């Protein structure tokens, strides 16, 4: 790029804070610079909002830098609530959050990424970018188990959760039998436990004349194996209190419309099977041409830049970022949201030659919903139990109902303020009324 005196060429990454060309920069980066954010989940939404905030901070003239979100649907879904019975507040129109801060949206499926030509192929055509933020999230792993795709349900997406909801209503409208009132949940990780703990009450409402049955199946010997030894007794007691049975140390061999066959040969009669076993990053990470980890994630540096890919950032479930010296990010909104904010701040800073911020999160918590039995709250990577029961449930309700939502009042100032690249305090029980 030619400087204001017309006698030298300056690369964008050389425009530092002390540069004499700072005032010239915003009007001369290019006729229009395009920042494209792929995905509108927790990381994607907050990356777009963080980028809008950074543009506002730097005083970039309107129209000089365009921010566009590309995602299949024009919604921001509160995915972590899909296990709940009431999905009313779980889908937010993107226009309510993006329009006030001048961020565009294209409703299209992303089909390919070409970092060499700096283009993204979508179901509506190809789009070029100057900087990219990949935040396409993750999806539940569905192995080649006979009958899974035909008869299995999931709560991986809002639409999937709605499909399960409609299925339960349909089953309840027919003959009431024990098999009709039985649901099998496959996968005793966090999502599987929350789903299993929620289902007994849902089924009891639909089948008031039959005692419903919920069975949690997992190939591990313990439920919530990732939660560790401290939380396990709390989880096991909650499953018992909720009337949830378990089949542990076994796999699922086949699924039919009337139940499942386990790897032991046991046959479980059921009208509903919910698959919650395992997550993997969106497979388009492979298009970036770099090595992915076992979960399909790309490695990013402390600024959320994809390592060895020029002009590309990644955040959320598609990115493996170091949270401290010994732990990588996990696939959760707890990490996806701040990763998005920092990626948004940094992608604009990188484009305009401004300093970037390093992301480190020095704390880690898990709050697991246990249905009518309450919840369990743990701190640290070893997940030591700090609270359980009603106290932890109050914290979980605050997180699910308030803390993870963007401002929805249309206020530009409030939306930009919420997108600040800062770390919030831990959602500890004593801080359960704080906004995140």
> Which of 123-127, 248-252, 394-398, 421-425 bottoms out in mean pLDDT, i.e. has the lowest?
421-425
Q: What is the DSSP letter of 407?
A: P
Q: Which residue has the tokens 């919920």?
A: 214
Q: What pLDDT is stored for residue 436 in this prediction?
A: 35
16 confidence band (pLDDT: 50, 70, 90): very low
List pLDDT tens digits, range 132-167.
999 999 999 999 999 999 999 999 999 999 999 999
List pLDDT tens digits, range 50-91.
999 999 999 999 899 999 999 999 999 999 999 999 999 999
Q: What pLDDT is stored for residue 30 in this prediction?
A: 52
List pLDDT tens digits, range 340-355.
999 999 999 999 999 9
Nearest to 188 by CA among 232, 152, 158: 232
What's the number of CA atoms in the CB half-sphere (13 Å) around residue 141? 12
- Cβ neighbour number for residue 147 with a 10 Å cutoff: 17
Q: Is the pLDDT of residue 9 over 80?
A: no
Q: What pLDDT is stored for residue 11 in this prediction?
A: 34
Q: What pLDDT is stored for residue 226 in this prediction?
A: 84
Asked, colleague to colleague, whether 31-138+280-362 and 148-277 share their fold, the answer is yes
Distance CA 366, CA 298 (A): 24
Q: What is the DSSP letter of 385?
A: E
Q: Is the pLDDT of residue 6 over 50?
A: no
Residues of the chain with pLDDT > 70: what percent? 91
The reply to whether CATH 1.10.10.1100 applies to domain 148-277 is: no
Q: Where are the domains of the chain?
A: 31-138+280-362, 148-277
Mean pLDDT of 10-18: 34
* Per-residue tokens: 61: 């003239």
Pick the CATH number of 31-138+280-362 from 3.50.50.60, 3.20.20.70, 3.40.50.2000, 3.90.1150.10: 3.50.50.60
Q: What pLDDT is stored for residue 125 in this prediction?
A: 97
Distance CA 152, CA 195 (A): 14
Q: What pLDDT is stored for residue 19 in this prediction?
A: 35
List pLDDT tens digits, range 307-324.
999 999 999 999 999 999
197 close to 203: Cβ distance less than 8 angstroms: no
Q: Is the pLDDT of residue 18 over 60?
A: no
Q: Is the pLDDT of residue 417 over 90?
A: yes
What are the helix (H) ranges across 16-135?
22-28, 42-58, 95-98
């Amino acid at each position: 790029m030619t400087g204001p005196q017309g006698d030298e060429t300056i690369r964008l990454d050389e425009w530092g804070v002390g540069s004499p060309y700072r005032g010239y920069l915003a009007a001369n980066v290019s006729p229009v610079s395009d920042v494209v954010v792929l995905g509108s989940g927790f990381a994607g939404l907050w990356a777009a909002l963080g980028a809008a905030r950074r543009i506002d901070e730097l005083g970039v003239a309107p129209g000089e830098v365009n921010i566009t979100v590309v995602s299949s649907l024009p919604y921001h879904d509160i995915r972590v609530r899909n296990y709940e019975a009431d999905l009313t507040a779980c889908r937010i129109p993107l226009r309510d959050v993006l329009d006030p801060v001048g961020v565009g949206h294209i409703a299209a499926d992303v089909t390919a990424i070409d970092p060499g030509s700096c283009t993204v192929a979508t179901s509506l055509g190809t789009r070029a970018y100057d900087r990219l933020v990949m935040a396409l999230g993750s999806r539940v792993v569905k192995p080649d188990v006979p009958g899974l795709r035909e008869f299995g349900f999931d709560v991986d997406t809002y639409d999937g959760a709605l499909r399960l909801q409609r299925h339960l209503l349909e089953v309840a409208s027919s003959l009431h039998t024990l098999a009709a009132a039985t649901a099998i949940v496959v996968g005793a990780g966090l999502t599987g436990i929350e789903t299993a703990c929620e289902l007994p009450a849902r089924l009891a409402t639909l089948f008031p004349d039959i005692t419903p049955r919920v069975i949690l199946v997992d190939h591990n010997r313990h439920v919530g194996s990732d939660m560790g030894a401290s939380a396990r007794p709390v989880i096991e007691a909650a499953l018992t209190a909720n009337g949830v049975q378990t089949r542990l140390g076994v796999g699922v061999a086949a699924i039919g419309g009337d139940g499942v066959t386990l790897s032991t040969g046991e046959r479980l009669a059921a009208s509903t099977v919910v698959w919650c076993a395992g997550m993997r990053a969106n497979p388009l990470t492979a298009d970036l041409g770099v090595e992915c980890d076992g979960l399909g994630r790309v490695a990013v540096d402390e600024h959320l830049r994809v390592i060895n890919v020029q002009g590309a950032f990644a955040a959320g479930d598609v990115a493996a970022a170091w949270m401290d010296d010994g732990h990588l990010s996990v696939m959760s909104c707890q990490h996806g949201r701040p990763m998005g904010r920092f990626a948004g701040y940094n992608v604009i800073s990188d484009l305009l030659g401004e300093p970037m911020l390093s992301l480190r999160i020095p704390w880690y918590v898990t709050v697991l919903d246990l249905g009518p039995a309450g919840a369990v709250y743990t701190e640290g990577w070893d997940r030591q139990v700090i609270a359980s029961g009603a106290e932890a449930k109050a914290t979980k309700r605050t997180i699910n109902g308030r803390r993870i939502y963007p401002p929805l009042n249309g206020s530009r100032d409030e939306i930009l303020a919420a997108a600040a690249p800062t770390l919030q305090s831990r959602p500890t029980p004593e801080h359960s009324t704080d906004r995140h």
